[in-house]
Structure formats: C-alpha cells, structure tokens
Chain A
Amino acid sequence: MDPQNMRSPLARAIGLGSAKEGAGRWWAERVSAVALVPLTLWFAASIIAHTGGDYATFIVWLRTPLATILMILLLIVLFYHTALGLQVVIEDYVHFATKFAAVIVARLGCYALATAGVVAILRIAFSG
C-alpha cells in the first residue's frame, strides 16, 4: 500500500470511475444550461423591446421587481455556466501548471464580473 495514503485501495476506488470525478460538474453544466434558456430569451426580448428607449425608461424597467430579480438570476447563472465552460476549454488546451492558474483566473474573473453586475443592478434598484 502507498505509504503516503492511509486509505485502502478499495476505499479509494469506490465511487471513482476512470475520470475520478466530474459527474457533479457535468450535471451543473446541464442545470445551468437549462436555466439559461428562459433567462437569456427573456433578456433578449426585453432588450429588443427597449430599443431606442432613453435612459430613464431603461432604469424604470430595471427597477421593477421582476426585472431586478431576473437580471440578478441571469448574471449568477450566466457566469456560473461561463466558468464551467471556460474550465472545460482550458483543461482541453492548456497543460501543466498554467492549467491550474488559468482555471483559477477564469473562475475568479467570472465571480468578480457576476458580483460587479449584481451590485450594479442592486444600486439601480435601490438608489434614490
């Protein structure tokens, strides 16, 4: 037995396929994808409806509870899905130590952008 690992070979093997992990991530990709179908279509329809509108009209719309809630949900799910997708691309094309750095940068970047977007929405919703 590997002296570095006190767990028995059986304990290490149970629940682990050749990929070791990934079923959870695969499921997260699917759930976020399904959630994004109505959210992105709602967003696209809303933006089209506001074409040519002025700033005040846009802000009034963003301040309605439904728009505020759906925009925040869109940002969270969109950047979660983006982080998962970029991770797959990075893992396929980037190797060695850069891979881990790139995945971390992509993840943190997505979280930072989602936070910035949510804060912007909240400021619009609750200011004045």
Chain B
Amino acid sequence: MSSPTTMRPRPLSPNIQIYRPQLTSVLSILNRMTGILLSACAVGLVVWLVAAAWGPQSYAAVQGAIASWIGQIVLFGATFAFFLHLCGGIRHLVWDTVHGFELRSIYISGWAVVAASVVLTVAAWVASASMGG
C-alpha cells in the first residue's frame, strides 16, 4: 500500500496519441485546426480592408505583401484551409440532420471532402491566374 504522501499517477483514458491516425480522426482534427487558422486569416481580412479604407498607398503595401512569394504561399494555404473547413462544415451539417453515419458513408463523405477541397483550391487559383494574377 502506498503511503498517503506519495501521489500515485491517476489512470487516464486513451487519448489521440494512442490511436493510429485514420481519415475520420485526421479530418476531425483538421477541421478544428483550419478553423483556428482561418481565425488568423480573418484578422488579415480586416487589415486588408482597413488598408483599403486608409488609401491607395497602404492598400498597395498590403497587396505587395500578398503578391510576395511568402504571401502567395500563405494565401494558397489559406485557400485550401478555407475549402477544407467549408466542405468539412457541410459534412457536419449533413450529420446534424442524422444522415450518413454508416461507416461506409463516413468514409465516402470523408474522401469527398478531401477531393472537393483539392479540386476547389486548384480551380480557384486557375481562375485567379486566368484573370491576370
């Protein structure tokens, strides 16, 4: 019997580090991570709008930062995060109507979210490039 002064480590239920990553868990974590990332992007949106309201010079400065290679990488990541969160969010809204909970449906909708996010991201950048960006 342990003495009352020594703290015995309390048993903990298995957490995410115990399990092998699966499509279901990875998409769940990504939905939350993209949500946090998009919160930061929303700050950028306000900075961009305030710069536009400030005048042409500050707007040009922000546009210049976006046009830099690091800005383009961030914007590309933000585009993919946006579409992943959007498609994942729609998947959640469908689940809220108590549809698509069978294991097969969950994997079909999961891969559909991944495929749609990739296609929409590429489509957005191709469309943007065709506009002369």
Contacts and interface: CB of A to CB of B under 8 A. Distances in A.
A94 to B, nearest CB: 13
B35 A89 contact: yes
Interface residues of B, number: 30
Interface residues of A, number: 35
Contacts of A89: 32, 35-36
Given A40-B86, A55-B59, A78-B42, A117 B49 contact: yes
A85 B43 contact: no
A34 B131 CA distance: 29
Contact of B49 (A34, A37, A121): A121
A101 interface: no
A117 to B, nearest CB: 4
A47 B43 CA distance: 17
Nearest to B123: A48
Contacts, number: 76
B56 A55 contact: yes
A29 to B, nearest CB: 9
Given A48-B127, A51-B131, A116 B35 contact: no
B60 interface: yes
A42 B76 CA distance: 18
Interface string A62-101: 1000000001000100110010011001000000000000
Contacts of B32: 89
Interface of B: 32, 35-36, 38-39, 42-43, 45-46, 49-50, 52-53, 56, 59-60, 82, 86, 89-90, 92-93, 96, 124, 127-129, 131-133
Interface of A: 30, 33-34, 36-37, 40-41, 44, 48-52, 55, 58-59, 62, 71, 75, 78-79, 82, 85-86, 89, 113-114, 116-117, 119-121, 123-124, 127
